[in-house]
Structure 1
Amino acid sequence: MSESRLHNLIRVNQAITSDLDLDSVLHRIVAMAAELVDAKFAGMGVLGPQGEIAKFIHSGISPQVEAAIGRQPEGRGLLRAIMDTPRPLSLTALGDDPRSVGFPAGHPAMTSFLGVRIRVREEVYGNLYLANNRHGEFTAEDVELAEALAATAGIAIENARQFDEAIRRERWSRALAEAARGVMLDEESQQVPRLLDRVREAVQAEVALIATIDEETDELIVEHVVGFNSAVLATTRVRPVTESFVHTTGDEALVLNDLSLLIDTADGEVETTCHLVLVPFDGPPGRRIALGVANRGTQSELHDREIEVVGSFTSHVHTVLDRAEMRRTRHRVAMLEDRNRIARDLHDHVIQRLFATGLSLQATATQVDGPPGERLSDLVHEIDGAITQIRQSIFALNHDSADGATLRSRLSAIVERIGGSLPRRPTLVFAGPVDLVTDDDLSHDVEAVVSEALTNAVRHSGARSIDVEVAIADHSITISVLDDGVGPGPMTRRSGLSNLELRARRHDGTFLVEERATGGTSLHWTGRLGATRPSTGSPID
């Protein structure tokens, strides 16, 4: 190898290893390869996961010619031969080789050809193609230079990839840290969109979204979205044309590139192509929720490494959604309490005053003859009608189940009825949204448990005081009954306690009765919300 060409190789090596931006490195390798071996045309095919040419970078072809060709090489013919051959391939007349499949219309004529592999560690990253040597054909020295350049290119690409990975992980780490701070500090109304913005930034995607997977219609129901065209995507339905969200995802994360979708917009269904990553995570019972990122089909594809990034944010999203659900529950509880307060005020104050006024008017009407007396009687009827309407309103305010009373009020009535004979009325404490229990079977069993526990305490323990607590937490309802009586004793008659144990099993719960260290009995009963199973017996109420 001549001294001048060796100097050129050293210069080229320094040039391509001095840059850490991967895209710039790839373009510089192609341009300098053409310069190094004096070729008119040069190209690099970056291989995809299936060995196909996923990206093609070229030098020597004008934008006008590129537009006339219309597509990048597919990796057939001689280009495929380079992929399958570990040694460089050098040809004097490219068209004479039997593996050549020709060129598309508009492609410039190519004669001499040189192809070498580019390896990054043990991986074949891509292939370097050189064509139309200006001196006629590629020499053995040209092949040697191309191989040396390919080796340096592998090192430069590895450095750039590591730098790119470091930048990506720094961006990811920063976004995670900001997401954690945001969950604690952001305004509640902005937590979800800001969190999605951080996911989108960490992945460098166009869109980030939270969606429910509808198993019946095989659709994504977009609940929250930020990024490109978010106004169109918000609260819309997305249906895959060829894939199946339900059968493809399961509980696993997935990457779907070049996915055809039908988007239900205000102007009708629109078909589009996108690259999508979906990562399912735990949601409310009965719902399959996923955190996802997406790019348009014309933008960069997404890869398995994005799954790790998106997955790292699911715990933050889960926390934010749980807090939002808790806020809604607190609002509903406050609303129920307001309704109960209004109902009490209407009953204890308004109705009583109206009733007293009606009695007074009725008494006055009996002492007045003629039209004034009739008018007073009409007013009494009007007041009676108003009282009837108010009573109906009170019933509607308190109506929370089939029998027209809330679980809280029914339990209060049980405690009042059974504990009336005690020196001190039992205390009853509620914790959590007890009135929001909608399972009639569970509500019925909760009433039976409180009734049986209080009856045992009153009849058999000799207790002077009893404390009852009913609490909702972690998708379970817990009943605790504590008394200061003589303790559970040998409990030879266990029919009532067996019923309580059976009711607990029906709701995937637990039941425990034990003697308290300070004297008396402690009874604990739990049941899971939504876990009612068919009864295997007939508990005696």
Structure 2
Amino acid sequence: MSAEHGETAGPEANAPLQDIRASDTTAKVLLEAVIAMSSHLELHSVLARIVESAATLTGAKYGALGVIGAGGVLDDFVTYGIDPDEQERIGDLPSGHGILGLLIRHPRPLRLQDIQAHPETSGFPDDHPPMKTFLGVPVRIRGTIWGNLYLTEKEGGFTEEDITLTETLATAAGVGIERAQAVADRADLAVLSDRERIARDLHDNVIQRIFATGLRLQGVALKAPEIAEQVAAAVDELDQTIRDIRSTIFELEHRGGSSLRKEIREVLRTYIGILGFTPTVRITGPLDTAVPGPIREHLVAVMREGLSNISRHARAQSAELELSVEPGSVSFRILDDGVGVTEGEPLSGLRNLKRRAHELGGTFELRPRAGGGTEFLWQVPLAR
């Protein structure tokens, strides 16, 4: 549909900065926005700055960034221009229906002169501010759709230049989001390491000292029967303290929300002792947001099976794990330096890996590496 009818696909998403014919002020705002996104380390701060910058650059009154989760619905929604009181009156955040759902299903720039006139519109909740003009642009990370930028209420409507500016900002936003996610992953790993260290210290040092103290007290009671009752009460309190510490250790080891990255780390930690070495792990792409639940379950099981095969058959000294989310697919690769694929090896595990891949429309390969070792590659599409 042409721009006169209120809708356009716009130019390519990777439009370079030098192609934007904007005023010096607009270029300055855009540059400041890119620098600010690069300097923020916390993901929500990056998202908020993206939305604010997009609204400022285009002159939109309202803005939002929707993060697409499993099943193609929005699992996060960061807004600009709506204060907390208004948001509370509006109620639940959008999940991705109507025009927002259209942009999820067809990820290309969408410009409307009147959002209410579009056949896909589903209207607004009660107490929602009136909105007419609309511009939506997808945000990509390494070619995969991660979310969408939504802008509304620009006087006179959005222009071709607005589309170009917003696409350029969305391209820069993808880089900033990926960087913030990487920082968050490193922080999560540091927190998990600290929890493990604290739990280990509590178990190896504190509990043992308390236990030894209890034994000494019981020895004192044998030598001084007149205080045996008081000593017994003190020992009971020490026993309760040990139980409380063990509960704390359990909480430290199991605390934290569910995410695919965390599940992968937990599987890896389980096998480090079995393998006798720590494999290197590389993760690229929006793993937690792009991989749906059913594939996620298969992926964790495949990782377990792959590491189990190395521990039982490969006699490897090192291994590299690569998890990659590309446009339309997710792949899991293991490279080891073991003895390679041998004749007569049990095939039940390999058949299971092939079955899992086939059920999802994907492939599985196990082949010798040049120079020794084995390459394990399991790859499936994200949608069928």
Same fold per TM (> 0.5)? yes
Question: What is the deviation of 1:357?
Answer: 1.5
- Summarize the alignment of residues 501-512 of structure 1 with structure 2, pairs less than 5 Å apart: 502=354, 505=357, 508=362, 510-512=364-366
Within 2, Cα distance between the matches of 1:489 and 1:220?
43
Within 2, Cα distance between the matches of 1:528 and 1:473?
9
Question: What is the deviation of 1:346?
Answer: 0.8
The residue that corresponds to 2:373 in the other structure is: 522
The residue that corresponds to 1:320 in the other structure is: 176
Within 1, Cα distance between the matches of 2:100 and 2:197?
47
Match of 1:277 among 131, 135, 142: 135
Amino acid paired to 1:211: G
Q: Is the contact between residue 369 and residue 375 of structure 2 (CA under 8 Å) also seen in structure 1?
A: no
Unpaired segments ≥5 residues, structure 2: 6-18, 117-121
Match of 1:295 among 153, 156, 175: 153
Question: What is the deviation of 1:277?
Answer: 0.8
Question: What is the deviation of 1:253?
Answer: 2.1
Measured on the aligned residues, the alpha-carbon RMSD in Å equals 4.7
The residue that corresponds to 1:466 in the other structure is: 317
Is 1:329 the counterpart of 2:179? The answer is: no
Within 2, Cα distance between the matches of 1:209 and 1:310?
12
Deviations for 1:60-84, whole angstroms, at most 9, x for unmatched residues?
A: xxxxxxxxxxxxxxxxxxxxxxxxx
Within 2, Cα distance between the matches of 1:314 and 1:509?
33
More divergent stretch after superposition (312-321 vs 284-293)? 284-293
Match of 2:347 among 480, 495, 499: 495
Q: How many residues are matched? A: 336
Question: What is the deviation of 1:353?
Answer: 1.0
Amino acid paired to 2:192: L
Q: Is the contact between residue 47 and residue 65 of structure 2 (CA under 8 Å) also seen in structure 1?
A: no
Q: Compared with structure 1, are the counterparts of its residues 443 and 357 closer, same or farther at alpha carbon in structure 2 (3 Å cutoff)? A: farther
Tell me the SS of whatever aligns to 2:191: helix
Q: Compared with structure 1, are the counterparts of its residues 343 and 254 closer, same or farther at alpha carbon in structure 2 (3 Å cutoff)? A: same
Q: Compared with structure 1, are the counterparts of its residues 218 and 409 closer, same or farther at alpha carbon in structure 2 (3 Å cutoff)? A: closer
The residue that corresponds to 2:60 in the other structure is: 205
- Summarize the alignment of residues 91-240 of structure 1 with structure 2, pairs less than 5 Å apart: 168=22, 174-184=28-38, 186-188=39-41, 191-212=46-67, 222-225=77-80
Within 2, Cα distance between the matches of 1:178 and 1:481?
45
The residue that corresponds to 1:250 in the other structure is: 105
Amino acid paired to 1:514: P
Within 1, Cα distance between the matches of 2:203 and 2:245?
8
Within 2, Cα distance between the matches of 1:394 and 1:527?
36
Name the larger-Rg structure: 1
Match of 2:266 among 406, 430, 448: 406
Q: Is the contact between residue 211 and residue 223 of structure 1 (CA under 8 Å) also seen in structure 2?
A: yes
Tell me the SS of whatever aligns to 2:153: strand
Tell me the SS of whatever aligns to 2:162: helix
The residue that corresponds to 2:14 in the other structure is: none
Deviations for 1:508-529, whole angstroms, at most 9, x for unmatched residues?
A: 5654442553xxx412334569
Q: Compared with structure 1, are the counterparts of its residues 363 and 200 closer, same or farther at alpha carbon in structure 2 (3 Å cutoff)? A: same
Within 2, Cα distance between the matches of 1:169 and 1:250?
34
Deviations for 1:242-291, whole angstroms, at most 9, x for unmatched residues?
A: 96432476323222223359766xxx623513311111233799987221
Deviations for 1:427-447, whole angstroms, at most 9, x for unmatched residues?
A: 2235368xx999554334323
Within 1, Cα distance between the matches of 2:343 and 2:229?
69
Within 2, Cα distance between the matches of 1:313 and 1:504?
39
Amino acid paired to 1:525: F
Q: Compared with structure 1, are the counterparts of its residues 446 and 366 closer, same or farther at alpha carbon in structure 2 (3 Å cutoff)? A: farther
Within 2, Cα distance between the matches of 1:287 and 1:516?
35
Tell me the SS of whatever aligns to 1:270: coil
Deviations for 1:210-260, whole angstroms, at most 9, x for unmatched residues?
A: 2357999999974042xx556667797677xx9643247632322222335
Q: Is the contact between residue 319 and residue 336 of structure 2 (CA under 8 Å) also seen in structure 1?
A: yes
The residue that corresponds to 1:356 in the other structure is: 212
Tell me the SS of whatever aligns to 1:274: coil
Question: What is the deviation of 1:187?
Answer: 4.2
Within 1, Cα distance between the matches of 2:198 and 2:303?
26
The residue that corresponds to 1:453 in the other structure is: 310
The residue that corresponds to 1:158 in the other structure is: none
The answer to which structure has the higher strand fraction is 1
Q: Compared with structure 1, are the counterparts of its residues 412 and 233 closer, same or farther at alpha carbon in structure 2 (3 Å cutoff)? A: same
Question: What is the deviation of 1:488?
Answer: 3.6
| Percent of residue pairs identical | 19
Q: Compared with structure 1, are the counterparts of its residues 496 and 174 closer, same or farther at alpha carbon in structure 2 (3 Å cutoff)? A: same
Q: Is the contact between residue 361 and residue 376 of structure 1 (CA under 8 Å) also seen in structure 2?
A: yes
Q: Compared with structure 1, are the counterparts of its residues 340 and 532 closer, same or farther at alpha carbon in structure 2 (3 Å cutoff)? A: farther
Q: Is the contact between residue 256 and residue 276 of structure 1 (CA under 8 Å) also seen in structure 2?
A: yes
Question: What is the deviation of 1:313?
Answer: 1.9
Higher relative contact order, chain-length normalized (CA < 8 Å, sep 6+): 2
Question: What is the deviation of 1:328?
Answer: 2.5
The answer to which structure has the higher helix fraction is 2
Q: Is the contact between residue 262 and residue 270 of structure 1 (CA under 8 Å) also seen in structure 2?
A: no
Is 1:428 the counterpart of 2:278? The answer is: yes
Q: Compared with structure 1, are the counterparts of its residues 528 and 171 closer, same or farther at alpha carbon in structure 2 (3 Å cutoff)? A: farther
Tell me the SS of whatever aligns to 1:428: coil
Q: TM-score with structure 1 length normalisation?
A: 0.50
Amino acid paired to 2:368: E
Deviations for 1:395-434, whole angstroms, at most 9, x for unmatched residues?
A: 2222379x9x93234213433xxxxxxxxxx32235368x
Question: What is the deviation of 1:495?
Answer: 1.9
Within 2, Cα distance between the matches of 1:263 and 1:532?
30
Is 1:480 the counterpart of 2:329? The answer is: no
The residue that corresponds to 2:119 in the other structure is: none
Tell me the SS of whatever aligns to 1:427: coil
